[in-house]
């Protein structure tokens, strides 16, 4: 174990696409540093969703202490802001006993929330958003695009024009504050009591897709269909609007066959993994490693890299 004479705190963060091996690596690193794990996988927060979210097994959970695994119910609202607050509080607690902690997850927004926090926006009168939603419903997405281009051309130039939620949020802030939404971005600098080291796992596309396909097959064998059936009465809940459940709900509705539903789960999971990599590749300072490198080798190299921070 490295000497940490400066008494600095370190958050070893492991990112990458689904099914790449983040859980196993996180456990190996946590064992190496005798520390605990913060899970930043937003799908694994929920108690009722085990198989379809690939929650760590009982053996994996016993191998290292995990936090934020199945700590909420699908009937509870739990936002990324809630997670940021709770995760930072838990890290403050863990750092009382150990200079090291591990964060593992595939939810880029939740990873960013812990590492960097969010921009600080003013409180806006709720009626502003209600009016924007009403206008969107009657005038369509073109209305949002035209208004945003008028009120905040800088943000309009980089926002996804097909994403109404992001444009409505930008309009809400612009109209409610009287200032362009973009003027609030990247102003607040969140201080963190730790130094991050970010390790990214990657694989070539064929290997990644093969791992995803095999994982879905294992989920089906382990009872994903039965798990989804128990959740079917609650299919409209936000927590269940996710890959692996939506497709089976369509099967239960008689819209598609079971065989087609399973193939859709695989296809949509592959698309999800591609989006994850697009997000994570923008994460500055990430050390990218091949998923085939032995985990104990990576754990040892992490210690050497920490000496350079």
| Contact by Cβ (8 Å): 172, 124 | yes
Question: In the prediction, which pLDDT does 4 show?
Answer: 45
Architecture of domain 10-118+190-306 in CATH?
Answer: 3-Layer(aba) Sandwich (3.40)
Binding region for ATP: 16-23
Annotated binding site for substrate: 18-23
Structural domain boundaries of the chain?
A: 10-118+190-306, 126-184
Q: pLDDT tens digits for the chain (309 residues)?
A: 444 444 589 999 999 999 999 999 999 999 999 999 999 999 999 999 999 999 999 999 999 999 999 999 999 988 888 999 999 999 999 999 999 999 999 999 899 999 988 777 778 888 898 999 999 999 999 999 999 999 999 999 988 888 888 899 999 999 998 989 988 887 655 688 899 999 999 999 999 999 999 999 999 999 999 999 999 999 999 899 899 999 999 999 999 999 999 999 999 999 999 999 999 998 999 999 999 999 999 999 998 898 887
Structure tokens, 201: 């796992």
Q: How far apart are the first and last CA of the chain?
A: 16
Residue list for the binding site = 16-23
CATH number of the domain at 126-184, please?
Answer: 1.10.20.140
Q: What are phi and psi of 194, to 5 degrees?
A: -140, 160
Note the pTM of the prediction, 2 decimals: 0.80
């Amino acid at each position: 174990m490295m000497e940490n004479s400066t008494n600095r705190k370190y958050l070893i963060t492991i990112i990458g696409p689904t099914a790449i091996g983040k859980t196993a690596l996180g456990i190996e690193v946590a064992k190496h540093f005798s520390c605990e794990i913060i899970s930043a996988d937003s799908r694994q927060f929920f108690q009722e969703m085990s198989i379809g979210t690939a929650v760590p097994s009982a053996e994996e959970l016993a191998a290292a202490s995990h936090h934020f695994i199945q700590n909420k119910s699908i009937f509870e609202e739990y936002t990324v802001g809630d997670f940021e607050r709770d995760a930072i509080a838990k890290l403050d607690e863990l750092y009382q006993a150990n200079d090291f902690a591990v964060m593992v997850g595939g939810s880029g927004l939740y990873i960013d929330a812990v590492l960097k926090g969010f921009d600080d926006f003013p409180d806006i009168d709720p009626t502003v958003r209600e009016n924007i939603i009403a206008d969107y419903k009657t005038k369509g997405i073109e209305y949002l695009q035209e208004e945003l281009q008028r009120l905040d051309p800088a943000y309009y130039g980089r926002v996804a024009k097909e994403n109404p939620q992001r444009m409505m949020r930008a309009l809400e802030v612009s109209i409610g504050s009287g200032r362009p939404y973009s003027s609030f971005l990247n102003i607040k600098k969140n201080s963190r009591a730790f130094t991050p080291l970010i390790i990214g796992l990657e694989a070539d596309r064929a290997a990644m897709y093969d791992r995803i396909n095999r994982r879905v097959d294992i989920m089906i064998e382990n009872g994903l269909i039965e798990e989804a059936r128990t959740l079917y009465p609650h299919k409209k809940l936000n927590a269940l609007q996710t890959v692996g459940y939506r497709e089976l709900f369509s099967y239960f509705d008689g819209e598609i066959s079971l065989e087609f539903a399973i193939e859709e789960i695989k296809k949509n999971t592959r698309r999800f993994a591609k989006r994850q990599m697009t997000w994570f590749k923008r994460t500055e300072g990430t050390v990218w490693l091949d998923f085939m490198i032995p985990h104990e080798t990576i754990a040892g190299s992490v210690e050497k890299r920490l000496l350079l921070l």
